[in-house]
Amino acid sequence: MAEKGSGFPATVVLGLPDTRPNTSGSLTVEGGLLRFESSKQGIRAIPLSSIQEVLLSQQDKQMGGTPTKLGKAAAPYGGGRVVSLFAHKKYDEVSLVYRDEGGGIHGVLFEVPEGQGVKIRDALVNNGARATPQENNGSEHAKSEVRDASVQPVAADQKSGSTLPADGNWNLQVEELDSSGVNLDPAFRVAIYEELLAGLEKTNKFEHVYRSGDRQAETKDNLLILKMSVREFEAGSETKRAVTTVAGATKIKVQYQIQTRDGRVVKDGLADAKVRFFGNNMKATHKLANKVADVIKNSKLAEPAASAPQVASK
């Protein structure tokens, strides 16, 4: 654990309230709080007692930005591949899941120097945060798939005659991502959830978008529930993509379903995203969330389906 008054260098990738993505600063664990301090945005704190999960993973990241890419392009006889090997660095990713005062689930993703993730997790757990046993899912070669998907598209003749509020009068609650049976990188799980919430709020399609567990949602009559289940995931490698240009793609596919409170299906479908060439692996989460949000934005939600296999809650 870092000494009192010092901290672990860290970057907020996403999810920390009132903090811009990719803000650099330091993490300290003291006084029952996880504190993130940035010279530009001040101090943010999360009570340790609210933390439900502390999960670790690792990503590689291209260093140097555009000049490095130009250098690779200019290097003759495959020299660009050598540059790529030296222009990438591994980082630990610390994924936190916590509940706010209203019961809503939040995910926060920090990027820290390689080897620091375990120290941060130990500091959190030793001071009261919860951590669940974690499978090894950091391999860039990891690929998993759920072959017997439990949700199928709803046929047109399965529509019911039930009357629902007009499109635009709904509230939406977004359940946690279900990755049962898929070896999903925890950083992807957190990022997809937070990116999806942000994307749905921007659509202005719903009166309010609630997080999973938010007690305010229980008081809303016109409530729809969005559930998502991961069907396929292949962890990629930014380094491998840069070196080979044909391998190391990051791929993810999810099945989503919007239900009424009593389980009637309003909308369901599949969405996927890939990062094939240049770019950080986490771009796949942004692409995926935007796809799902765009489909929902352009969907009519006034008529539910009578019945369909349902996505299980996490």
212: tokens are 């999973």
Whether 95 and 14 share a structural domain: yes
Instruction: Return the CATH number at 57.
Output: 2.30.29.30
Report the 10 Å Cβ neighbour count for 303.
15
Whether 162 and 119 share a structural domain: no
pLDDT of 194 reads 97
Boundary residue ending a domain (92, 126, 160): 126
Whether 195 and 282 share a structural domain: yes
User: CA–CA separation, 28 vs 233, rounded Å?
Assistant: 33
Flag whether 306 is in a domain.
no
Radius of gyration of the CA atoms of the chain, in A: 21
Flag whether 314 is in a domain.
no
User: CA–CA separation, 239 vs 87, rounded Å?
Assistant: 9
pLDDT of 3 reads 43
Whether 109 and 164 share a structural domain: no
User: What SS3 string covers the chain?
Assistant: CCCCCCCEEEEEEECCCCCCCCEEEEEEEECCEEEEEECCCEEEEEEHHHEEEEEEEEEEEECCHHHHHHHHHHCCCCHHHHHHHHCEEEEEEEEEEEECCCCCEEEEEEEEECCHHHHHHHHHHHCCCCCCCCCCCCCCCCEEECCCCCCCCCCHHHECCCCCCCCCCCEEEECCCECCCCCCCHHHHHHHHHHHHHHHHHHCCCCCEEECCCHHHHHCCCEEEEEEEEEEEECCCHHHHHHHCCCCCEEEEEEEEEEECCCCEEEEEEEEEEECCCCCCCHHHHHHHHHHHHHHHCCCCCCCECCCCCCCCC
- Provide the number of structural domains found in the chain: 2
The pTM of the full predicted model, rounded to 2 decimals, is 0.79
Instruction: Return the CATH number at 226.
Output: 3.40.50
pLDDT of 101 reads 97
pLDDT digits (tens, 9 = 90+) for 68-84: 444 444 444 444 444 44
pLDDT of 278 reads 44
User: CA–CA separation, 147 vs 42, rounded Å?
Assistant: 47
pLDDT of 155 reads 39
Whether 284 and 235 share a structural domain: yes
Structural domain of residue 293, as residue ranges?
143-297
**Cβ(16)–Cβ(43) under 8 Å?**
no
pLDDT of 72 reads 44
Whether 20 and 118 share a structural domain: yes
Whether 105 and 208 share a structural domain: no
Per-10-residue mean pLDDT, the chain, length 314: 68 96 96 96 96 92 50 46 58 97 98 96 95 61 50 41 59 96 92 97 95 97 95 74 55 95 92 70 88 93 55 63
Whether 82 and 151 share a structural domain: no
pLDDT of 7 reads 92
**Cβ(45)–Cβ(31) under 8 Å?**
no
pLDDT of 126 reads 95
